[in-house]
Chain A
Amino acid sequence: MGLFEKFEGTAAQLKGLLAASPRDPFSVSMDEMKGPTRAIVKGKEIVLAGTNNYLGLTFQKDAIDAASEAVKTSGTGTTGSRFANGTYAAHRQLEKDLAKFLGYEHCIVFSTGYQANLGAISALAQPPHDVILIDADCHACIYDGCQLSGAETIRFRHNDPESLDKRLSRLSRDVKGKLVCIEGMYSMFGDVAPVKEFVEVAHKHGAYLLLDEAHSFGVFGDHGQGVCEADGVRDQVDFYTGTFSKSLASIGGFVASNHPELEYLRFSSRPYMFTASPSPANIAAASTALAKISSDNSMRERLWDNAERIHAAFTQLGFELCAGVGPVIAVKLANREQAFMAWNMLMESGVYVNLAIPPGTPNATSILRLSVSAAHTENDLDIVVNAYTNLSQMLAKEKAET
């Protein structure tokens, strides 16, 4: 009884929204995958435009072969943590390869990106003398890392280095370690952090900067090292976190750094020590995707071409977009109800995007988040633009009627 009452408000609200919705956006099942950009949902082929498959590598042949081979030679699972029996040669090699690709001295592989942030933040900052400062729009795993750490946590305004500057200035002189956490590209709106300014402000106050490039790794910068490369400050980032679950098309996460002390995390980070390591197939797929990204810029070029096409088309259709050209193109809608209706309509037109409603969205906005992939074909994009054209006409009609 007592355990469940707290869910009732949200459950009732969701039920109300779903009652008016032909489909449930939060329990879509991809019944059959047809490739990186297509799936069968309830008997109908859908274009996938709400994923994190930015470089489109989920069906890359070499990665599939490497993962299959790894299962055969190293087994289906490691059955242990990195700290015990779960570190294979391939885990170590991938750490070296990631460090080399990003230009850092040290790298630690975790089981997911969530755990990489959780593990880095909770181990680095500890109460009572350390303070964590986080961008207000940081991902849940950064907030959770702060909570697990228990250190005093202060939010600053999203993408606002001056707001961070003020908060760092206010800190008492008794504070020992200061850890600032930001992201490269933010996943919901696709907006990009002024990383260079943040580095300057953080270092001016003697704080360390942790940058989560989960969505920007492989996508931004001339070599795909992320927003920090594009901003020319890659070597000044203290802790670079990332995930295998987006452009690397696998499962896993990592933290990279030039600080040799990063190695301390291996015996102090609970999310590193107390969970099983990524399976051999996950590691092999991520390693192969990384090699592909290192040697071939064409996916990144195609991604940006596709992003430009969609952004221009949506701008022309008159949609209110949340950010400039980039791999995430989010459309702002008037409210939850309109967002549900729009999402259903896109599904009817054969396009899956992500529906995001408050709480959990910045500024309590309701959005449809579209992600572009290098694997999207001309035909995929035609279907997407067609579906949004129908949507814009319907919204215009709705507006005219009210």
Chain B
Amino acid sequence: MTAIQEDDDLVFHKISSLLGPLNEKGVKLTRDTDIIADLEIDSVSLLDVVMDIEDNYDISIPVNTISEIKTIGELVDAIHKIKKEQS
């Protein structure tokens, strides 16, 4: 496994655990899960989950970026990109 892949898995697991309490229907989480449509959570709750992610990684994810994100995979990629930019 490359370092990137490993890091990818870690970020994915972190997001999954933060989304866990909101995943009321127990949908299986993959990179392709549509956060709002598949998990039936509202956009405000998503913003709050992102706040936890920000504090966890010590990064800032702009609202403008969040509104363009649909899937968990896209969120993982955005976090990597911002981690690189803000480090």
As a 0/1 sequence over residues 112 to 154 of chain A, the CB contacts with chain B under 8 angstroms (1 = contact) are: 0000000000000000000000001000000100100010111
Q: Complex formed: what's the CA distance from A73 to B42 in Å? A: 50
CB interface residues, A 176-235, toward B, < 8 Å: none
Indicate which residue in A146, A152, A163, A359 contacts B45 across the interface (CB closer than 8 Å).
A359
Q: Complex formed: what's the CA distance from A157 to B53 in Å? A: 12
Nearest opposing residue in chain B for A133, CB measure: B60
CB A201 to nearest CB in B, in angstroms, measures 15
Query: With a CB–CB cut-off of 8 A, which chain B residues contact A359?
Result: 42-45
CB B87 to nearest CB in A, in angstroms, measures 10
Query: With a CB–CB cut-off of 8 A, which chain A residues contact B58?
Result: 166, 170
As a 0/1 sequence over residues 56 to 67 of chain B, the CB contacts with chain A under 8 angstroms (1 = contact) are: 001111111000
- Known contacts A136-B51, A155-B51; decide if A167 and B60 are in contact (CB<8 Å): yes
Query: With a CB–CB cut-off of 8 A, which chain B residues contact A358?
Result: 42, 44
Q: Determine whether the beta carbon of A152 is less than 8 Å from that of B51.
A: no
Q: Check: B5 CB closer than 8 A to any chain A CB.
A: no
Query: With a CB–CB cut-off of 8 A, which chain A residues contact B55?
Result: 163, 166
Q: Determine whether the beta carbon of B47 is less than 8 Å from that of A136.
A: yes
Q: Determine whether the beta carbon of B63 is less than 8 Å from that of A153.
A: yes
Q: Determine whether the beta carbon of A153 is less than 8 Å from that of B62.
A: yes
Q: Check: B86 CB closer than 8 A to any chain A CB.
A: yes
Query: With a CB–CB cut-off of 8 A, which chain B residues contact A143?
Result: 63
Query: With a CB–CB cut-off of 8 A, which chain A residues contact B64?
Result: 150, 152-153
Secondary structure at the B interface, as helix, strand, loop or mixed, is: helix
Query: With a CB–CB cut-off of 8 A, which chain B residues contact A172?
Result: 85-86
Q: Determine whether the beta carbon of A360 is less than 8 Å from that of B44.
A: yes
- Known contacts A136-B48, A136-B51, A157-B51; decide if A170 and B43 are in contact (CB<8 Å): no
Q: Check: A364 CB closer than 8 A to any chain B CB.
A: yes
Nearest opposing residue in chain A for B67, CB measure: A147
Q: Complex formed: what's the CA distance from A157 to B47 in Å? A: 11
Q: Determine whether the beta carbon of B42 is less than 8 Å from that of A170.
A: no
Query: With a CB–CB cut-off of 8 A, which chain A residues contact B61?
Result: 154
CB interface residues, A 355-374, toward B, < 8 Å: 358-360, 363-364
Known: A143-B63, A359-B43, A364-B45. 16 other contacts (CB 8 A): A9-B40, A136-B47, A146-B63, A152-B64, A153-B63, A153-B64, A154-B60, A155-B63, A157-B51, A163-B55, A167-B54, A167-B60, A170-B86, A172-B86, A358-B42, A363-B48
Q: Complex formed: what's the CA distance from A152 to B65 in Å? A: 9
CB B47 to nearest CB in A, in angstroms, measures 6
Q: Complex formed: what's the CA distance from A143 to B62 in Å? A: 12
- Known contacts A167-B60, A170-B59; decide if A155 and B47 are in contact (CB<8 Å): yes
Q: Determine whether the beta carbon of A152 is less than 8 Å from that of B62.
A: yes
Q: Complex formed: what's the CA distance from A169 to B60 in Å? A: 10
Query: With a CB–CB cut-off of 8 A, which chain A residues contact B44?
Result: 358-360, 364
Nearest opposing residue in chain B for A151, CB measure: B64
Q: Complex formed: what's the CA distance from A166 to B85 in Å? A: 16
CB B55 to nearest CB in A, in angstroms, measures 8
